[in-house]
Amino acid sequence: MVDKDTLRGSIARVLEKNSIESTLILARQDGVVVFEQDQEISEKDKQTLGALMAGAWQAAEAMANFFPVEEKNFFRLGFDTSDSGIYILPINASSEKFYLGLFFKNEINPAILKNKLRNVSQQIVEELSIYFDARESMEEPLFENITDDEIEKIFSFAGV
Amino acid sequence: MSFVNYQTKEVNCKIVFYGPGMGGKTTNIQYVYKKTAGDSRGDMISLSTENERTLFFDFLPLDLGEIRGFKTRFHLYTVPGQVFYEASRKLILRGVDGIVFVADSQVERMEANLESLQGMEKNLKEQGYDIDQLPIVMQWNKRDLPNVVSIEELERKLNKRNLPSFESIATDGVGVFETLKTISKLVLMNLKSGL
């Protein structure tokens, strides 16, 4: 079984090998983050970035649909200045869509960095496919008969 | 679509607050934000207009405690309620695990409630959801206002599936956590095993 840490390790190695050191977030279509490179981002900020990234991509995609282009065109989303910004690429792996977001600042040549990311995206697709293809499809409920007490316990932080 | 990770023992779930404009969806999650400690939640993100109407979505990541050894993490979203934001609502419903439908109890908003509910059902169907399998909780909000429809009428017109429902006054927090606890329980019990 391929675990999440193995996936993290594999993607981290791909990035290291290609000298991509900028902050990077890989999120699912629903915004759930599956990988991040940057220990300085807090867990909560990471989740927020994932949600915003997925939302931004999907909004841009919906706008683009008003002006259809051929399927073969490969979209990317940029929000940047000449040396800093955000660059998002879509990734399809194992029948799922993901977004790869690069957050960079003070880059002398962002175009090179973006190009590197486009080049490594295929390697990331391969790592994701290995991981997600290994998932077992199960139909059994994860939790059965959760009690009201258990729910009260997980909400106890709110004092309500 | 929830994300269950057996290795890190984490579950991630997406809950969307849906309903007509000005019904109290944002107020619901603002109250949750206000009542939760800093280490349990992240910043609340609101993509809104200058007059605080939701433009795209509100987002609140919430880390709840452990349940049977699994760390539970909920992502709360609201949709923009105004009629012309239909495209945004469709996007936000993608991957949803559970819905809180926030209805405005005022007499003059009944038409808007019905329109929003029908829109939600249509959007879910378009995305391949079986509405009878998706956890949904109804919330009858603004019960403190003078011109409200009776609970019986709200149930009859908006809750034909006999879903769990709660009265609320979201501005004061009445019914907010009761609703959230119920949808959380339904979502957790609806999770399927997987890596």
Cα A86 to the chain's mean position, in Å?
A: 13
Query: Where is B183: in which H helix or E strand?
Result: helix B176-190
Q: Cβ contact (<8 Å) for B193 and A141? A: yes
- Listed residue (B44, B112, B62, B53) closest to B88, CA to CA: B53
Report whether B59 contacts A48 (CB < 8 A).
yes
* Cβ-Cβ contacts under 8 Å, B41 against chain A: 44
Q: What is the DSSP string of chain A?
A: ---HHHHHHHHHHHHHHTT--SEEEEEETTS-EEEEE-TTS-HHHHHHHHHHHHHHHHHHHHHHTTS---TT----EEEE-SS-EEEEEEEEETTEEEEEEEEE-S-S-HHHHHHHHHHHHHHHHHHHHHHHHTPPP--SBSS-S--HHHHHHHTGGGT-
B59-103 pLDDT tens trace:
999 988 888 888 898 999 999 888 777 888 888 998 899 999 999
Domain count, chain B: 1
Over the stretch B133-157, which tens digit does the pLDDT of each residue have? 999 999 999 999 999 999 999 999 9
A:B CB pairs within 8 Å = 138
Q: Is residue B195, in this structure, part of any structural domain at all? A: no
Mean pLDDT of B151-174: 97
pLDDT digits (tens, 9 = 90+) for B84-95: 778 888 889 988
Q: What is the pLDDT of residue A87?
A: 96
Task: List chain B residues with CB under 8 Å of A10.
Answer: none
| Average of per-residue pLDDT across B17-28 | 95
Residue B181 lies in a domain: yes
CA atoms within 13 A on the CB side of A9: 5
Domains of chain A: 4-137 (3.30.450.30)
Average model confidence (pLDDT) across chain A: 85
Average pLDDT, integer, range B52-63: 84
Task: Tell me what percent of the residues of chain A surpass a pLDDT of 70.
Answer: 89
Two tokens, residue B173: 């927090």
Structure tokens at A51: 């949600």
| Alpha-carbon span A99 to B88, nearest angstrom | 18
pLDDT recorded at residue A1: 40
Question: Containing domain of residue B134, as a range?
Answer: 3-190
Q: Residue B149 domain-assigned?
A: yes
Q: What are phi and psi of A91, to 5 degrees?
A: -135, 135
Residue-level pLDDT at A78: 95
The sign of the torsion formed by the CA atoms of B82, A58, B71, A22 equals negative
Identify which has the larger pLDDT, B137 or B7. B137
Any chain B CB within 8 A of the CB of A45? yes
pLDDT at residue B154, as a whole number: 98
Contact by Cβ (8 Å): A71, A90 = no
**Hey, which of A70-84, A139-153, B24-38, B163-177 has the most confident mean pLDDT?**
B163-177
How many Å apart are CA A92 and CA A76, to the nearest integer? Answer: 13
ipTM value of the model?
0.81
Select the more confidently predicted residue: B182 or A72.
B182
Q: What is the mean pLDDT of chain B?
A: 90
pTM score, two decimals?
0.85
Count Cα atoms within 13 angstroms, Cβ side, for B18: 33
Q: What is the pLDDT of residue A2?
A: 46
Q: Determine, yes or no, domain membership for B130.
A: yes
Average pLDDT value for residue range A121-150 = 81
Most confident of A23-27, B34-38, B98-102: B98-102
Is residue B30 a part of any domain in this protein? yes
Q: Where do we find the tokens 């959230």?
A: B180
Q: Distance between CA B52 and CA B50 in Å, rounded?
A: 5
**Residue pLDDT, tens place only, A61-70:** 888 888 887 7
Alpha carbon of A146: minimum distance to chain B alpha carbons (Å): 7
CB contact at 8 A, A59 and A137:
no
- Determine contact, residues B65/B4, Cβ cutoff 8 Å: no
Residue B194 has pLDDT above 60, yes or no: no
DSSP-derived 3-state class of residue B28: helix
The answer, for A29 touching chain B at a CB cutoff of 8 Å, is yes
The CATH number covering residue B123 comes to 3.40.50.300
Among chain B residues, the shortest Cα distance to A43 is held by: B42
How high is the pLDDT of residue B20? 95
Determine the pLDDT at residue B142. Answer: 98
- Min Cα–Cα distance to chain B from A48, Å: 7
Contact B87, A63 (CB under 8 A): no
